[in-house]
């Protein structure tokens, strides 16, 4: 740890993770600083090393960026949920677009020279789902989110990012739980649906008799589940349940089933934007489409409007049950779902055809790390591959691998799924290299004056 002498730093840019990048004046060594903006001059008094990275915290802001603002949330800087509230929203978009391109170049050696349009969202009140953290420090109940870079809970009375039905539940949830001997209860999954709020609680001991009944009486609550956690999210059993454990979410003409335990895009304002972006690159019709990492069938149903057969693959069996039931209720007989690991699905006879399009929407870890899925895609060479990603670093890595397998990036778009945070959703559109080159040549020769 450095001494107490003041050190002046100039912030060069904001990089992936929302951290400002500065360099020490004499050594040129990189220092990462939270809650700063490009072109700001700051003063720090100490730096520290963590996992091979040098960090510092700004003690004084000497020259602020003109886009800096007072954070609207009273918990900002303590709660770890947001990290860009100190920038006006238009500047947040600029920062995120630049960070995406920088990550693609640095990690995947992908130089995208076209524009990157970032679809904007309303700044606040957009999250229909959240994982609340709970703790009993000193005998009192705190419900909120982890503090910045810690596992200590920052208690919140309301969160500006949540939709109103979730915020309305918070005081009732706290009142119902604070006198109960629940032991360690690490998480409460909450989801706001068309039919009300669903709550899913985890505790390490048997809950008191009648607790689920009391929770189900919370105004606006449509269903509650209490899980006895035996050491991890996969090792648990439901011990009490009341009301619904799934409910309908409508997006356009489609009705989906969702539950607190299965992934569904959290930003209510961006659902249609994602489907519109996919529509813009799809053929008008086709025989077969694959939707890998399909979750509860968000893209699968939409693909079913255009393709005779759509195969959705997802290892979460609960999500597949939701997707199947929603498809059956909608009368979409051309949809088929596999509740298996995506790599295991590659051995299924139904996956050996030649799809017109493959859509992938993997978790933050990206496509399978052993390379089997990319190898499969390279051998199959679908005319269109659409990759939705919530993690720019693994997207960059996978785009580099897909390029080596014969694919070319032909379109790149982004969606601000989580305003006030550094997170960004991207959509990369790829085609086999020879097809992309032919289309590029055709387009250039058809332009007047080309």
SS3 332: coil
Helix axes 89-108, 392-404, angle to 10 degrees: 40
Sign of CA dihedral 81, 83, 89, 90: negative
| DSSP β-bridge partners for residue 155 | 144
| Tokens, residue 439 | 């289309």
**b/e burial code for range 212-243 (CB count within 10 A of at least 16 → b):** bebbbebeebbbbbbbbbeeeeeebeeebebb
Active site residue 154: no
Rounded to 10°, the helix 372-380/392-404 angle is 50
Measured distance CA(164)–CA(111) in Å, rounded: 41
What end-to-end distance do the CA atoms of the chain give, in Å?
60
Q: Residue 268 in 3-state DSSP?
A: coil
Nearest to 291 by CA among 301, 281, 282, 305: 301
Give Dmax (Cα) for the chain.
78
Q: For residue 290, give the 3-state DSSP assignment.
A: strand
DSSP string over 78-127? TBSS-S-TTB-HHHHHHHHHHHHHHHHHHHH-----S--EEE---SSS-B
Active-site position among 73, 154, 221, 390? 390
Residues labelled catalytic: 390
């Amino acid at each position: 740890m450095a001494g107490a002498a003041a050190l002046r730093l100039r912030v060069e840019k904001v990089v992936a993770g929302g951290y400002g990048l500065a360099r020490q004046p004499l050594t040129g060594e990189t220092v990462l600083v939270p809650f700063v903006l490009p072109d700001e001059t700051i003063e720090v008094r100490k730096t520290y090393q963590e996992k091979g990275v040098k960090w510092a915290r700004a003690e004084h802001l000497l020259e602020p960026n003109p886009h800096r603002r007072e954070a609207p949330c009273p918990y900002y800087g303590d709660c770890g949920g947001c990290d860009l509230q100190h920038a006006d929203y238009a500047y947040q978009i600029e920062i995120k677009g630049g960070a995406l391109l920088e990550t693609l170049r640095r990690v995947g050696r992908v130089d995208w020279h076209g524009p990157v349009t970032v679809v904007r969202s309303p700044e606040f009140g957009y999250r229909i789902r959240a994982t609340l953290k709970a703790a009993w420090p000193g005998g009192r109940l705190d419900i909120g989110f982890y503090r910045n870079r810690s596992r200590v809970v920052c208690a919140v009375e309301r969160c500006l990012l949540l939709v109103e039905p979730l915020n309305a539940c918070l005081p009732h949830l706290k009142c119902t739980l604070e006198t109960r001997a629940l032991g360690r209860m690490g998480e409460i999954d909450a989801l706001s649906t068309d039919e009300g709020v669903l709550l899913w609680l985890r505790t390490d001991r048997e809950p008191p008799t009648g607790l689920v009944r009391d929770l189900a009486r919370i105004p606006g609550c449509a269903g509650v589940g209490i899980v006895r956690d035996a050491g991890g999210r996969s090792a648990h059993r439901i011990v009490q349940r009341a009301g619904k454990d799934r409910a309908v979410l409508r997006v356009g003409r489609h009705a989906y089933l969702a539950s607190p335990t299965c992934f569904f895009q959290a930003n209510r304002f961006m659902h249609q934007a994602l489907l519109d972006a996919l529509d813009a690159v799809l053929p008008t019709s086709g025989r077969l489409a694959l939707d890998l990492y399909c979750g509860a069938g968000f893209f699968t149903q939409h693909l079913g409007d255009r393709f005779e057969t759509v195969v959705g693959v997802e290892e979460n069996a609960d999500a597949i049950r939701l997707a199947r039931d929603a498809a059956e209720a909608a009368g979409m007989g051309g949809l088929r779902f596999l509740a298996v690991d995506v790599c295991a699905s590659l051995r299924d006879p139904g996956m050996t055809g030649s799809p017109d399009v493959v859509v992938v929407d993997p978790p933050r870890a990206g496509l399978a790390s052993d390379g089997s899925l990319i190898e499969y895609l390279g051998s199959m060479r679908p005319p269109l591959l659409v990759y939705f990603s919530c993690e720019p670093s693994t997207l960059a890595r996978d785009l580099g691998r897909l390029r080596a397998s014969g694919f070319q990036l032909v379109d790149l778009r982004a969606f601000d799924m989580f305003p006030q945070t550094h997170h960004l959703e991207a959509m990369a559109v790829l085609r086999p290299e020879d097809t992309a080159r032919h289309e590029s040549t055709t387009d250039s020769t058809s332009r007047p004056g080309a």
